[in-house]
Amino acid sequence: MMGMEPLETFVVQTTVEAEAAPYRKIIEDVISDLMIAGAIGRLKIVVRPEDSLFQMVTILREGLPLMKVDDFADVGKGTSMGEVQIMIREERPLPRLLESLWARYGRGAVTQPERRTLLITVGDPKTEIPLIKEMVVDDPRRTLRSRLVDMAIRSTPEGFRVRYHSLDDNNFIFVASEDPMKQEWIDEADKMLDELKGDDVSGIA
Amino acid sequence: MMLVALLDPYIYEGGVHKHGLILELLEDLGGYLVQKTAASTEVTLIMLIPRKDVHLIEELGTKLLGTITRAPMTGTEIAVVSPTLAYHHLPHSACDVAEYLRHGGANTNMIGLARGMGRRVALSADYERKLINEHDIAIFTFGTFSDCIMNKKPKLLEGINIPIVVTGGPDLNVEDIPNADMYIGNIGRVAHRLRGVDELKGLDRMNEKVGELVDRVREDIAKDPLAVLSPRVMKEIHEQIPDIHNVLAPAPITLQLDGLRVKLPYEDYHVAIEMLELDEGVLLSDVARITPSKMKNYILIKIRRRSDVGFIL
C-alpha cells in the first residue's frame, strides 16, 4: 500500500448512472475546499437515494511526516549563558511552536526580540537543544482526522444524519442514512474497502 | 373590453446625461418608474411602459445612446426556497439562482426551510408556507437525484398556492413532479460558483422560462384586472407617506404582480396605508386587502380584482 498517488482511485457510483458525474463534482469541490486531496489515496463513494444510503470508503496515503522544530528552524546556543536561540525559516508553524515552548519553559522564559528569532532561557542548553530540535509542532494526521470527518459530512446528502464511521490505520469507512443504521450497509462498506485495497495499480492483487 | 393598458417591463441602461427626458416621456405615456439606480455616470432605470408605446421610449433611448431591454421579471417578488440554510445548498447554487433572477429584474427573497432536508424527514411549517405564499412565484432549489426530486421532495410543495418552479440536476419532465408548475434541469447541488458555460446556459434557460411564466400570470391577471395597478399604489405611497424615503431596506416598496410589500412597521403605518387616497373618495382599503406580512413586521397589500370591487381606477 506504500507509494499511492493522491486520489489514484476516485469512484462515485449512484443508482442512476447519469447522476454519478454531478455528484462526483460535488465531492471534488469538497476535497479541494478542505485541501485534503494530498492525503487521500483511494476513494469510493456509493449513493443509493432510494434506500436513503450514502457509503464512503477511503484509503489514506501513508508517510505524512510529523513536523518537528528541526524541519523549519535552526536551533543553537544563544549569546548569553543558559540561553537557546531559535532562528525560524518558516513562519507558519510559529504560533504552535510558541505554545509548545510556553508550556515547557513558561511564558517569561521565551522572548522574541525579532520576527524570526526566539530566545529561551533554559537550565542547561546542552540537553535542551536536542530536545527542542525533536519537538513535534504539528501532526498532520491529527488535523487530517477532523478534515476527513468534515469531508464525509459535507459530501453526504444533508438529511442523512444517522452515521457510522470507523477510522483504523489508513482506512476510513463512513456510512450515513436518514433511517436507522443497518448492519448490512456497514458490511457492504467493509467489502468495498477490501475491493479498494485489492485494486492495486501495480497489478499485483 | 380592455380598460387598463398592459404594461410591459423594460430596463434602460445608459448615461445619466439627459435621462430625465426618458422619465418625462414615461410619465406622459402613463408608465411607471419602478427603480432607478445611478452609478457614477451610468444610470439603470427599471420601468413599466404601456405596451403600445414601447417604441417611443426605445426611439428616445437609442437617441441617447442607451440600451433598452425587456426584463420580464420586473415588478415581481420571487421566493427562492432552499431545503435548509446549510452549506449543502448555500451559497451555491441557491444564491446563484437568486442572483440570476435579479438580472432579469425580479426582486428575490431567499427562504431556507427549517426542516426541509432529507427524504422521509423533510417537512415545511405552516408559517413557512404562508410566507412563501406571499410571493408571486416560488422557486425550489433541489439537488442531484431524480428519485428525491420526483418521489420525496414534492411534499415540500404541498400547500403552496402560487406558481411553483423546481430546479434540479437531472433532466426531468414536470409531469413527474407532483404539484410543480415548471421544472428546470441542469441546476442541481453544486459546491462551487456557477460559471461554467453549461451552468450559465442552465441559468439563462431558467430566466427565460420563469420570464414566460411571469408573462402568463400577467395575461391571466389582465383577464380580470386589478382594481388599481400596483405601480400606481407605489407612486401614491411615495407621495403621501414621506417616511418611506427613510426606510433603509433594499426595495422599500417591493412590487408584486398583484400587490406590494411595504417595508414599514405594520402597527405604526397600517392606518396611513389604508387611508391612502387613490382618487377622490377612493381609499386603498376600498380596493385592497392590507395585512401584516409574515416577513418581519412589514405590510402586505394584495389588490382586489375588478369583478370583486366593481370598478377600475
Going by their DSSP bridges, the two strands A117-121 and A110-114 should be labelled as antiparallel
User: The whole model's pTM is what?
Assistant: 0.82
| Number of Cβ within a 10 Å radius of residue A43 | 23
**Three-class SS state of A187:** helix
B167/B206 Cα distance (integer angstroms): 8
**Does residue B82 have a cis peptide bond before it, meaning omega lies within 30 degrees of 0?**
no
Per-residue pLDDT of chain B (313 residues; tens, 9 = 90+): 344 557 888 999 999 989 999 999 999 998 999 888 888 899 989 899 998 999 999 999 999 999 999 998 999 999 999 999 988 888 888 999 999 998 888 999 999 999 999 898 899 999 999 999 999 999 999 999 999 999 999 999 999 999 999 999 999 999 999 999 999 999 989 988 888 898 899 999 999 999 999 989 988 998 999 999 999 999 999 999 999 999 998 889 999 999 999 999 999 999 999 999 998 889 999 999 999 999 999 999 999 999 999 988 8
Three cell numbers written together for B211: 420570464
Helical axes B197-223 vs B94-103, angle rounded to 10°: 60
ipTM for the predicted complex: 0.81
Q: Where are the beta strands (DSSP E) in chain B?
A: 7-15, 32-39, 42-50, 67-70, 77-82, 107-112, 137-141, 164-167, 182-184, 253-256, 259-262, 277-279, 282-283, 288-292, 299-303
Q: Decide if A49 and B88 are in contact by the 8 Å CB cutoff.
A: no
Amino acid B90: pLDDT: 85
Tell me the chain B residues in contact with residue A14 when contact means C-beta distances shorter than 8 Å. Answer: 144-145
In angstroms, the Cα distances linking A42 to A8, A173, B92 are 6, 12, 27
Q: Decide if A157 and B190 are in contact by the 8 Å CB cutoff.
A: no
- A194: Cβ contacts below 8 Å, ≥ 6 apart: none
Burial A174-193 (b: 16+ CB within 10 A, else e): bbbbbeeeeeebbebbeebb
Residue for grid cell 441542469: B186
**Which of B119, B120, B190, B195 to mutate to probe the A interface, most A CBs <10 Å?**
B119
Residue B161 burial (10 A CB sphere; 0-12, 13-18, 19+): exposed
Tell me the chain A residues in contact with residue B191 when contact means C-beta distances shorter than 8 Å. Answer: 25-26, 29-30, 33, 154
**Does residue B163 have a cis peptide bond before it, meaning omega lies within 30 degrees of 0?**
no
Tell me the chain B residues in contact with residue A154 when contact means C-beta distances shorter than 8 Å. Answer: 87-88, 191
| Residue-level length of chain A | 205
What residue type is A138 in one-letter code? D
Amino acid B227: pLDDT: 94
pLDDT above 70 coverage of chain A, percent: 95
Q: Decide if A16 and B145 are in contact by the 8 Å CB cutoff.
A: yes
**Closest C-alpha among B282, B303, B281, B279 to residue B291:** B303
Going by their DSSP bridges, the two strands B182-184 and A67-68 should be labelled as unpaired
The alpha carbon of residue A60 is apart from the nearest alpha carbon of chain B, in Å, by 23
Q: Where are the beta strands (DSSP E) in B113-155?
A: 137-141
Contact A22, B144 (CB under 8 A): yes
Three cell numbers written together for B136: 408571486
Size of interface A-B (CB pairs under 8 A): 69
Three cell numbers written together for A172: 476510513
Residues of chain A with pLDDT under 70: 1-2, 63, 199-205
The alpha carbon of residue B208 is apart from the nearest alpha carbon of chain A, in Å, by 24
Amino acid B5: pLDDT: 59
A23 touches chain B (CB under 8 A): yes
Q: Where are the alpha helices (DSSP H) in B92-225?
A: 94-103, 126-133, 146-147, 197-223
What residue type is B291 in one-letter code? T
B186 touches chain A (CB under 8 A): no
**Closest C-alpha among A44, A91, A33, A42 to residue A192:** A44
Amino acid A202: pLDDT: 46
Three cell numbers written together for B289: 386587502
Tell me which DSSP letter residue B226 carries. Answer: B
